[in-house]
Amino acid sequence: MTPEELKDLQVDKTVDARGTACPGPLLEAKKAMGTIDPGQVMEVLSSDEGTKKDLPKWCTKKGHDFMGIVEEPGYFKVFMKKG
């Protein structure tokens, strides 16, 4: 999906992990993923640069759909759909 499409996307769950460094965002994402249903969309807010590599890889390995990253001032959003 393009960043424009992602910005308009209706998300089912938002995880704000901006206050934490690695491995905080990864663990927050894992915990939150357990609370949503397959097919639902989650966004993870992070300002930890390593998260941009970590979360897409984690999604692929765990069978979730990594949808893309949108940059915001001072942080970014990682979008994923539960598999």
For the annotated catalytic residues, the residue numbers are 22
Minimum distance of other proteins from residue 28's CB (angstroms): 10
The single residue among 23, 39, 50, 83 that binds other proteins, judged by CB under 8 A, is 23
Distance CA 38, CA 3 (A): 23
The reply on whether position 60 binds other proteins by CB under 8 A is: no
CA atoms within 13 A on the CB side of 15: 24
Structure tokens at 35: 């609370």
Residues 37-56 that bind other proteins (CB under 8 A): none
Structure tokens at 21: 């460094």
The residues that touch other proteins, with contacts defined as CB under 8 A, are: 19-24, 26-27, 29-31, 58, 61-62
